[in-house]
Amino acid sequence: MPFHTTDTVCGIVGVLPETLRRWRRAGLISPPSKEGYSDAQLACALRVLDLTAGGNTLFDIHATLRWPGLALRGGWTFREEDML
């Protein structure tokens, strides 16, 4: 199984290392092993990126990853009033 460095994951996902650390602290992705990040962790980081791009909060994303059948009512449309 191939493993990826933090720099590689950040490059593929398009986030800064600090963002990746925040996602780890929030429990959205698991910490890398001594060898690095697995393909499954990379896929999870890409999923988190997709959900954040949709305007979901880290709390919403955590719930979605924990309970895949959960339908989010968040997103940019839901938060439009907060932004205005």
Average pLDDT in the chain: 86
The C-alpha atoms of residue 39 and residue 45 are separated, in whole angstroms, by 10
Q: Where are the alpha helices (DSSP H) in 1-84?
A: 6-13, 17-25, 39-53, 58-66, 80-83
Residue 44: is its pLDDT beyond 90?
yes
Look at residue 39 in the predicted model and tell me its pLDDT: 95
Q: Is the pTM of this model over 0.85?
A: no
pLDDT > 60? residue 76: no
